[in-house]
A and B are shown apart, each in its own frame.
Chain A
Amino acid sequence: MKALRAIFIAALAVAINSGWAGEPNNADFGFPAPGTYALPPLRGAADGAVLTSEGGATTLHRVFSGKIVVLSFIYTECGDARGCPLASAVLAQLWRRVDEDPALAQKVRLISLSFDPAHDTPAVMRGYGQRFVREGADWQFLTAASEAALQPMLNGYRQTRQRAYDSNGMSTGTYSHLLRVFLIDEHRIIRNIYSADFLDPALLVYDIITLARHG
């Protein structure tokens, strides 16, 4: 029953443990300074019907609210007991860095959107968010009213998610998914996509500054 989850977490742990060694110290191969590199437009960020953690019905684009958005797809069952999801913890680290510059912080919004609407009700998302959010952080925890409401957003962001089954063909209640985090500019254009290897708060904040100051 727990086979896939164990595999996922094992793989994630190996990725963190061996694949992520911090910013290289050589100037040529360190993270490039904000504004010295391009973040070419990738595609428009999809919209969709979502529920806020207070249960209010709105749309993803309304939540964007003209800010620079870091959007992460998650599901709370993935993280409850295992120290996951990596994305939420990195976003918490990211906010601390963004918050060091109040002018920058005003331009940024973090969004965690569940891809497990059956389990992750607004109340569940609210509880999940409380574990990560520091006071004053602009971080929204969203879910969808149904699978039907969610699916266009999964399609729009090409977020794969497959229910995991054990060797007897029974659902494990977990999902196999490729971790993806999206950087979206004020004009709702996706400007970068991160997977586990790239989920470094320093890199994310450089990209945000690049968008905020250099467009």
Chain B
Amino acid sequence: MDKSLSFMNAVVLSIAGLGWQPMAAADETCMSPYMAKIVGQEDYVYVWTLGQEAVGDEQDKLVTIDVHPKSQSYGQVVHTLSVSGRNEAHHGGFTDDRMHFWAGGLDNSKIFIFDVHSDPGKPKLTKTIEDFVAKSGGVVGPHTFYALPGRMLITGLSNNKDHGGRTAMVEYTNDGDYVATYWIPSDADFQGAKKSGNYADGYGYDVRALPRRNMMVSSSFTGWTNYMMDFGKLLKDPEAMKRFGNTVVLWNLHARQPRKILDVPGAPLELRCAWGANHNYCFTSTALTAKIWLIHEDASGDWQAQAVADIGDPAKVPLPVDISLSSEDDVLWVDSFMDGMTRLYDVSDPFHPKLRYQKRIGKQLNMVSQSWDGKRLYFTSSLLANWDKKGEDNEQFFKAYAWDGMELSERFAIDFTAEKLGRPHIMRFGARALYAQAPASDATRIAVTSP
């Protein structure tokens, strides 16, 4: 270790000696650290969109939006690609080489693989995985697609035995071949992990890794029966409301083995890990209890969880959903679904987040993605087909904003209902320079490895 550290330092010093300055500097900020990053202006935002009855072709689709201000088609949908039927399109992610975008259907567990490199403005569907449940040994609801070197780690939300929240993470090669299944530890089988509190529910949702600490962290939501249920009906079903995740699990990244189960009650959803060299922590937010939680490494190298802030008025159940951490780990954007608000927290002291700004984006709000420099933010509206609001409150939009450090200013908006597209969900960025189809200028800069 010492020898290799010495070597690393030598390389860094030799590069520093060449006069290189670190890049200032993040949904570029929530990507796998193994992936090439767009650290300048993105060209496209890909929006994985749920099909909606009586809206357009009613099918799930990948929508490509031109977001380059100098482009003639800036602010317009430049391409749509429908896949077969409605699959409860939800999340997706790039492979580590950023050549393909994988996107999942939470209902039927189909996985769609799109080529985004041949023509970044016109993705192509190259493969559909239809046997995810059988290959994985019964995992249902592919959610997060997290890039590992040459592989994709996919979190499940459910299982095919009881369609509850017990689930696993599943590893595939970038070619789309099944590798292994890692079940989330539960009271039925701790799998070597330590239960540190009251819960060991075995539920899953998101996953992130801190390779420098050989740590991987997973969060927990609810199973197929709940996420496919009408939201109003769900809220009135006390038994169903008990079936939400209350845990975060810490894993040994290299071994893919669970080590510790932490209590984080109230459905901890998105996980975002810090980028800084000594920032050994990750954030999550709990949907039902409306709190920001910090998952942090302590002095002994062990990991702990701590609630560090309320989001809005938890008694009003704002239902926080997506979060986005800046590339410099100084601010955290938090979207909440019920009140349609985005809130900005100063997290420069991660143990004491301070609310700095808030703005209502729409009648319902889900995802937020920011550029690496934090100057551009994009929002979408849909949560789940059966959880979205009804009637006039069912606004479906993609909105682009500029952030100047003080105020969000809307740049353009696309009405996904009027445009007959559907319910927009996760967003990922594209750039032609990633594939040497445009020069990597100051306008579009690419970082080949992780900051």
Contact = CB atoms under 8 A, between A and B. Distances in A.
Given A36-B255, A43-B175, A96-B3, A10 B22 contact: yes
A176 B15 contact: no
A13 interface: yes
Nearest to B95: A158
Contacts of B3: 93, 96, 201
B12 to A, nearest CB: 5
B436 interface: yes
B57 to A, nearest CB: 33
Interface string A28-50: 11111000111010110000000
Contacts of A200: 4
B97 A11 contact: no
A116 B449 CA distance: 20
B interface: dominant SS:
loop
B243 interface: no
Interface string B298-310: 0011110000000
Nearest to A203: B254
B436 A162 contact: yes
A195 interface: yes
Interface string B33-61: 11010000000000000000000000000
Nearest to B447: A11
A19 B1 contact: no
A22 B5 contact: yes
A147 interface: no
Contacts of A17: 8, 12, 22, 277
Given A26-B301, A29-B213, A164-B440, A16 B448 contact: no
A166 interface: yes
B451 A32 contact: no
Contact of B15 (A82, A201, A202): A82
B252 A166 contact: no
A168 B440 CA distance: 10
A38 B23 CA distance: 37
B314 interface: no
Interface string A148-160: 0000000000101
Interface string A137-148: 000000000000
B11 interface: yes
Given A30-B214, A82-B15, A15 B449 contact: yes
Given A43-B173, A83-B15, A164-B436, A176 B446 contact: yes
Contacts of B174: 158
Contacts of B99: 160
A90 B4 contact: yes
B177 interface: yes
Given A26-B302, A197-B34, A7 B445 contact: yes
A180 B95 CA distance: 13
Contacts of B254: 31-32, 37, 198, 203
A9 B14 CA distance: 11
B18 A82 contact: yes
Chain B: interface size category: 35 or more
A21 B11 contact: no
Interface in A73-129: 82-84, 86, 89-90, 93, 96
A89 B11 contact: yes
A31 B18 CA distance: 33
B96 interface: yes
B157 interface: no
A63 interface: no
B440 A40 contact: no
A31 B214 contact: yes
Contacts of A201: 3-4
Nearest to A27: B301
Interface in A156-180: 158, 160, 162-169, 176-180
A56 interface: no
A15 B445 contact: no
B143 interface: no
B448 A32 contact: no
A83 B4 contact: no
A195 B302 CA distance: 25
Counting chain A CB atoms within 10 Å of each CB, which of B10, B12, B150, B446 scores highest? B150
A23 B96 CA distance: 23
A18 B276 contact: yes
Interface stretch (B82-90, B122-130, B256-264, B385-393): B256-264
B442 to A, nearest CB: 9
A16 B150 contact: no
Contacts of A166: 439
B281 to A, nearest CB: 14
B212 interface: yes
A8 B36 CA distance: 10
A42 B179 contact: yes
A31 B213 CA distance: 9
Interface string B415-451: 0000000000000000000011001110001111111
B285 to A, nearest CB: 24
B448 A93 contact: no
Contacts of A212: none
Given A32-B257, A196-B449, A9 B440 contact: no
A196 B175 CA distance: 21
A178 B36 contact: yes
Nearest to B150: A193
A12 interface: yes
Return the 10 tightest CB-CB contacts between A and B, nearest first: A26-B301, A193-B150, A18-B277, A83-B14, A162-B436, A37-B255, A32-B255, A197-B211, A28-B259, A11-B447
Interface of A: 3-4, 6-26, 28-32, 36-38, 40, 42-43, 82-84, 86, 89-90, 93, 96, 158, 160, 162-169, 176-180, 190, 193-198, 200-203
10 contacts: A7-B447, A18-B275, A24-B214, A29-B250, A36-B255, A82-B15, A165-B436, A190-B150, A193-B151, A198-B149
